[in-house]
Amino acid sequence: MQIDVLTRPEELKGLRDNWDDLYARDPDAHFFVSWDFLSHYLRRFDGEWFILAARKGPPGSPYVALLPLRLRTRMRKNTGEIYHEVYMGGNHAADYTGILCAPEYAYRAIAVFAKHLKTMHWASLHLENLRMSERRIGWLMEQLSDNRLTMRRMKRVNQVDNVDNCICPAIDLPSSWEDYLLHNLSANTRQKMRRFLRKLENSDEFRITHADASTIERDIEILLEFWRIKWTPQKGNLVPGLVKSNRLLFRQAFENGTLFMPVLWHGDRPLSALAIFLDPVKKSMLFHMVGRDETADMLPSGLVLHGYCIRRAIETGFRTYDFLRGNEPYKYSFGTHDTILNCTQVRTKTGRN
């Protein structure tokens, strides 16, 4: 099996059909390694991104596996020494990362990817937020093992609220809304869900709108402003950059048809908004961000909006409603189960390339 290293925008553009085919076939694939998400995100880092592409045939053959990565060059302030770090391609925006593989070639592809990585000049390799089967992760770690390297499984627990960002709750959706209410929710949550959704539907005061071409800019700003107000005290100077990055992310997802953004209103006053990514191939809805008016208490906006979206997901044939990273307690009231991410840092023992 041969490896090509793709670095040019035109090479990335030419991968579209091959990428989509692998994505549809790979049982480990998820939205954050889809073409719609990752190809556009990588282009923010022209000159840094590269894709390891495995083929079993001659040049020009379809690729059987893709590993998108980014290379960052840094300098040690105390010595002036230059060193390189390799990151997964989606890091800093993607909740999950991974390797895209044709299932029948997964082991061989992972082996050649690891072999190639060990020939590159880097001081650290950040395998952050890996969401793949334990089998594939085991293969990758086994093939990366080398007496020149150290490996460390990292924890991702927030010190402020003790939320573990390696734990990802999600709902396996049943075929009907009634089945979901009966089998996923406690009696108390089920009663609240029915009561407040009924109140919404029978009210002249409350309504939910969906962002469209005429409202998308307004709705993005509503969500981001609510989010900014809530998180500035905790995240401080990081907030402007996160707001800017997510604004770009939401605009691109809307253009691709992969963004669902419902907004809850009381009259003309917005109360809350969700940003949800849509994956029509894997039949997943992925909840990415919420913003809400913390001063409003007319309705439990989180319960109402998530309940509304879960019902819509079931009615439109989606199979998963994913709350993504973080084991915040409220997520478990919706009847979720956990997936555990792998965050491993690989370093050279010398600390040099």
Q: Which CATH number covers residue 12?
A: 3.40.630.30
- At 159 the pLDDT is 87
Q: Rounded distance, CA 313 to CA 64, Å?
A: 32
337 is a domain residue? no
67 is a domain residue? yes
122 is a domain residue? yes
Q: Give the confidence band of 74 by pLDDT, cuts at 50, 70, 90.
A: very high
Instruction: Specify the pairing of strand 206-210 against strand 342-348.
Output: unpaired
Q: Rounded distance, CA 246 to CA 52, Å?
A: 27
Shared domain for 137 and 201, answered yes or no, is no
Positive or negative, the CA dihedral 225, 230, 233, 237 is negative
Shared domain for 138 and 212, answered yes or no, is no
Instruction: Please name which of 309, 324, 314 lies closest in space to residue 30, comparing C-alpha atoms.
Output: 324
Bridge partners of 164?
A: 157
Shared domain for 60 and 114, answered yes or no, is yes
Shared domain for 86 and 230, answered yes or no, is no
Give the residue-averaged pLDDT of 131-138.
97
Q: Which residue has the tokens 């390339």?
A: 353
Shared domain for 129 and 254, answered yes or no, is no
328 is a domain residue? no
Residues 6+ apart with CB under 8 A from 347: 123, 124, 125, 149, 150, 152
Centre a 10 Å sphere on the Cβ of residue 337 and count the other Cβ atoms it contains: 10
φ, ψ of residue 125 in degrees (nearest 5):
-125, 120
Q: Is 269 exposed, middle or buried (0-12, 13-18, 19+ CB in 10 A)?
A: exposed
Domain range for 299: 174-318
Number of domains into which the chain is organized: 2
- At 201 the pLDDT is 94
Give the residue-averaged pLDDT of 176-194.
98
- At 125 the pLDDT is 98
Note the pTM of the prediction, 2 decimals: 0.95
96 is a domain residue? yes
94 is a domain residue? yes
